[in-house]
Amino acid sequence: MKKVLIALALAVTLSLGAFAVGCGGGDDKTGGNVEQDNVTDQTPEERELRVLPEGFTYEVTTKEWTVKGEDVSIYGKIWSPDAKGKFPLVILSHGFNGHYTDFPTECQRLAQRGYVAYAFDFCGAQSGGKSTGRTAEEYTPLTMKQDLIAVINDLQRLPIVDKTQIFLFGGSQGGFVTALAAADETVRDKIAAIALYFPAFNIPDDWHGKPEVNTPLMGYSIGAEFIRSVQDLDPYAVIGGFKKDVCIVWGTQDALVARKYIDRAVETYGKDRTELTVLNGAGHGFSGQDLLTAVDTVLAFLEARTYVSQ
């Protein structure tokens, strides 16, 4: 009976037509601590925007999923609606020394609202990770980009995934890598939009001119190959190759990623297609109300760009 009522609610809502929601828009979500920049109307696609009833949630199911590469095994977990049909895909990329478990709130909320969410461990990029094939001395942001591209190409084939609606979502170093991957010519046409928490576009500057030796950092290490790979990398010359919409959420108390890196990213992507939400007082990593606001912001951004699956 519950599934019948849900289906009827969805049918009624979809018949009402399409609407667009700005990133972090709505006075009820700002809570007095959110600064909104560059919220713009988007050109609608030919197909109908998917509109779910406010407050509606799917029941969620989870399962482990491993992506096999030539030399690597990428471990992750899928959160998905417990329902039949095809759903848009969101791939979440963790930060430095992070894990697939870093996005529990985001993955649960995304699946509840009708997305297939996949979070995974980059190979060699953390202590105690479940992915294999690289060591701490071998992984770099460029190998992470390779991992993410492999994940995109694998998960797009899942029967539950609408491969025409693939979104990328990354935080910190994972945001940096997400931006690099989204601009890669082999996959950029597959990506509908990207969302970034405090993307670490400062990484090349942080390591420019530093000795190319293994360096302990924040409970893990940066390998010589990592330093070598980013020393002369200009991320802004790369990320501008992605020509679709971008959502960035950043906090004013971020001690690792300065505002100038965020502003340059907005300039590079273009103010007309970049939506920046600034959380006053938030640091590098969101928790409490800041986390809830960040999740709502990204979800609104994605829902404004999600269409009825064909």
Confidence tier at 45 by pLDDT (50, 70, 90): low
Which tokens hold the place of 272? 């007309």
Could you tell me if residue 29 is inside a domain?
Answer: yes
Tell whether 177 is covered by a domain: yes
Can you give the residue range of the structural domain that contains 207? 2-303
309 assigned to some structural domain: no
Share of the chain above pLDDT 70, in %: 85
For the chain, give the secondary structure using H, E and C: CHHHHHHHHHHHHHCCCCCCCCCCCCHHHHCCCEEEECCCCCCCCCCCECCCCCCCCCCEEEEEEEEECCCCEEEEEEEEECCCCCEEEEEEECCCCCCHHHCHHHHHHHHHCCCEEEEECCCCCCCCCCCECCCCCCCCHHHHHHHHHHHHHHHCCCCCEEEEEEEEEEECHHHHHHHHHHCCCCCHHHEEEEEEECCCCCHHHHHCCCCCCCEEECCEEECHHHHHHHCCCCHHHHHCCCCCEEEEEEECCCCCCCHHHHHHHHHHHCCCCEEEEEECCCECECCHHHHHHHHHHHHHHHHCCCECCC
- Residue 59 tokens, joined: 């029941």
- Please give the order of strands across the beta sheet that includes 60-68: 34-37, 274-279, 245-251, 191-197, 161-171, 87-93, 116-120, 73-81, 60-68
Rounded CA gap, 136 and 124, in Å?
5
Q: What is the pLDDT of residue 43?
A: 44
Neighbours of 3 (CB within 10 A): 11
Number of structural domains, the chain? 1
CA distance 31 to 290: 10
Looking at the domain assignment, is residue 310 inside a domain? Answer: no
Asked if residue 70 belongs to a domain, the reply is yes
Segment 227-242, tens digit of pLDDT: 999 999 999 999 999 9
The answer to whether residue 308 sits within a structural domain is no
Q: What pLDDT is recorded for position 11? A: 37
Q: Provide the pLDDT for residue 310.
A: 75
Are 64 and 75 in contact by the 8 Å Cβ rule? The answer is yes
What CATH number is associated with residue 223? 3.40.50.1820
Whether 5 shows a pLDDT value over 60: the answer reads no
Q: 31 lies in a domain?
A: yes
pLDDT of the residue at 14: 34
Determine which of 10-19, 35-44, 244-253 has the lowest per-residue pLDDT on average: 10-19
Task: Please indicate, yes or no, if residue 105 is contained in any of the structural domains.
Answer: yes
If one counts every other C-beta atom within 10 angstroms of the C-beta of residue 114, the result is: 22
pLDDT at 100: 98
**pLDDT tens across 62-98, in order?**
999 999 988 999 999 999 999 999 999 999 999 999 9
